[in-house]
Structures are given as C-alpha cells and as structure tokens.
C-alpha cells in the first residue's frame, strides 16, 4: 500500500512530534507554518519550531501571512493531496483549504473534546483542576474545534504537574496517537460528532489572568498557579513587590479561624504556607522583582512574615 500524500500545518513545539509522526507514516510534500516572529530581549526574528524541524528534514516550507485570499488553497490543490495534518497551526483554516485534500484535514487537539475547544486547552485544563485530559484526533470543520472525533487518548493530570510539563507530555502523546491513526487511515471507522451541549471554551490566556485570588479554596488556587506556569505566571503582591509563584499544592496545615485569606502561616522546607478562602496552599518557589526564581524558604530567610501584611 502506497503512503498517503500529505501536507502538514503546525507552528510551536507541541506540533513537532506530530510532524515527525506524519513524516514517518506519509509522503510529506509541503509544510506550512506561521511567519517568523520577534522574540527574546533583542526581539530578533525567530522561526517557529515546526519550520526548524521541517528544514532539518529537508522538507519544503511555506509561511503564508494570509489564508483567505485563495493562494494557499490553490497551491494545496495543485499538490493533489490525500490529507492535510494540522497540529497547533495557530489560525482557523478557511473552507477552501479544508476541502483541498481528498480526505480532508485531520487535527491533533490537546484536550478531550468537546471540553476545552480553543487556543489554550492545556493551560485551561490544569488551571481548572481537571483530573484528566488527553489528545483528540479529529476531522476539521470551519468552526473552532467543532469537527467530529476519530479517536481520543486520555491521560491523568499529575497532582503537581504544571501546564509546561503537561504540554511536553501531550505533545509526545499526540505524536504517538497520530502515528497509530495514520497507519490505518483512511480505513478507519467514521468520526463521532461532538456533543455541543458539553462544550467548554479555552481562549488564549491574558497576562492579567495570572493574579491569584486568595479568597478561593486552596485546591483551586494550587491548580491556578500550576496552570499559569510557565506563562503568564501566577502573581500576587507583598507590599509593593509583585511576586511570581511556582510549585503549588494543598498544605496539610490548618488555618486558624481568625486567619485572613493571603496570610502567611508558616515557612518550612516545603515552602510558604498561605491561608486561602478555604484551606491552606503551600508555594514551593517564588520569584521577586528583578531576581531569579528561588525556593520559598530562601526568600523568607530573615523575614518575619507574621508581622507583615497578607499577600494580595
């Protein structure tokens, strides 16, 4: 049986294992990625990780700035593709691109659809305290992650797992699931329509979402801090200093009845124990303004937290 003739569309690190899976199982004739973007302190143009990986593999790469003028769709039709594989490309594809390949476009999405449709499913799942997530292999439609699902692979979210750590795990899981799927495609059962009534949205994170609300329960605050790691980073105020918080989990300490939400109750080798609206959360690491990330105990050394105002 000859290999499927495929194009691949993706941009960030998450998509690289899916690109490799596509190369392993298909004849990849084109890779599309987002344009190079300025990054870092020098704001120099940086290529997307998918572009870097594709060029290392000797694959032709395009980086269109527009998708709705018909030019990309026309190029894809000329290639007489069997399928287009999409993983975190970063833009909604118009109908003329979706219809360009013979068997449509297949997307690798980092959630158990219909939960968390959108741009930030990994961060939203962690921040919401979901016990489980996974990857979905779906057929794309014009809507935002609305297409029917061929198969899903689930995985538990660790009690102390951050969005960044889960991102890496789901990238690998997505590549493995895609490779297994493409070895059988198109001789697979038809995809199952999603239950729109069970849908939740996962919009891109905003920087201001990092702020911690200490009036929430400890379990919710711990999940929020892990969900904001590495970006935008969970933050709170201590006096006039904005602190970034890392490595959160619920504490076994009990807060006194009179403790205010945000009050620091103790500092030990486990970290900073902070009273919440319900329960206590322990913060393993902190990053003060203009300094490096450090253990909470090192930050608290020499400071009498009990005499200071609560974290806000």
Q: Kindly tell me if the per-residue pLDDT of 123 is higher than 80.
A: yes
Residue-wise pLDDT tens digits, 53-63: 999 999 999 99
Task: Kindly report, residue by residue over 234-255, the tens digit of the pLDDT.
Answer: 999 988 899 999 999 999 999 9
For CA atoms 16, 88, 18, 104, the dihedral sign is negative
What's the whole-number average pLDDT of the chain? Answer: 95
Is the pLDDT at 210 greater than 60, yes or no? yes
pLDDT digits over 7-53, tens only?
999 999 999 999 999 999 999 999 999 999 998 777 889 999 999 99
Do residues 210 and 248 make contact, with C-beta atoms less than 8 angstroms apart?
no
Strands, E assignment, 194-312: 234-238, 241-250, 264-268, 271-275, 280-287, 294-295
Q: Give φ, ψ of 2 to 5 degrees.
A: -75, 155
- Residue 150, by phi and psi: left (phi above 0), alpha (psi -120 to 50) or beta? alpha
pLDDT bracket for residue 106 (50, 70, 90): very high
> Which residues, including other chains, have CB under 8 Å from residue 196's CB and lie 6 or more apart?
114, 146
Average pLDDT on 66-90 reads 97
| Domains of the chain, earliest start first | 4-198 (3.40.50.170), 207-307 (3.10.25.10)
Segment 293-299 shows an average pLDDT of 91
% pLDDT > 70, the chain: 97
Positive or negative, the Cα torsion across 236, 242, 248, 250? Answer: negative
Of the pLDDT bands very low, low, confident and very high (cuts 50, 70, 90), residue 303 is low
């Amino acid at each position: 049986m000859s290999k499927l003739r495929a194009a691949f569309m993706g941009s960030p690190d998450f998509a690289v294992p899916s690109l490799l899976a596509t190369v392993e199982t298909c004849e990849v004739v084109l890779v599309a990625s987002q344009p190079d973007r300025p990054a870092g302190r020098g704001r120099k143009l940086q290529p997307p990780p998918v572009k870097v990986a594709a060029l290392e593999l000797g694959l032709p790469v395009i980086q269109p700035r527009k998708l709705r003028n018909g030019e990309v769709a026309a190029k894809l039709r000329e290639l007489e593709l069997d399928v287009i594989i999409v993983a975190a490309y970063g833009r909604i594809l118009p109908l003329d691109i979706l219809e360009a390949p013979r068997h449509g476009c297949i997307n690798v999405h980092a959630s158990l659809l219909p939960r968390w449709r959108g741009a930030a499913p990994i961060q939203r799942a962690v921040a919401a305290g979901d016990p489980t997530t996974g990857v979905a292999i779906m057929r794309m439609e014009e809507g935002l992650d609305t297409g029917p699902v061929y198969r899903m692979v689930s995985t538990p979210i660790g009690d102390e797992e951050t969005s960044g750590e889960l991102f890496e795990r789901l990238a690998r899981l997505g590549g493995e699931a895609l490779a297994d799927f493409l070895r059988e495609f198109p001789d697979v059962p038809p995809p199952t329509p999603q239950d729109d009534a069970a849908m939740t949205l996962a919009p891109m994170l905003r920087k201001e979402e990092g702020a911690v609300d200490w009036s929430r329960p400890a379990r919710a605050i711990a999940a929020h801090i892990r969900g904001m790691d590495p970006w935008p980073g969970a933050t709170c105020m201590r006096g006039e200093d904005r602190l970034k918080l890392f490595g959160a989990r619920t504490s076994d300490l009990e807060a006194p009845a009179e403790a205010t939400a945000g009050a620091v109750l103790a500092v030990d080798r486990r970290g900073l124990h902070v009273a919440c609206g319900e329960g206590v959360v322990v913060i393993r690491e902190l990053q003060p303004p203009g300094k490096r990330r450090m253990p909470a105990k090192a930050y608290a050394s020499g400071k009498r937290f009990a005499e200071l105002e609560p974290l806000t």
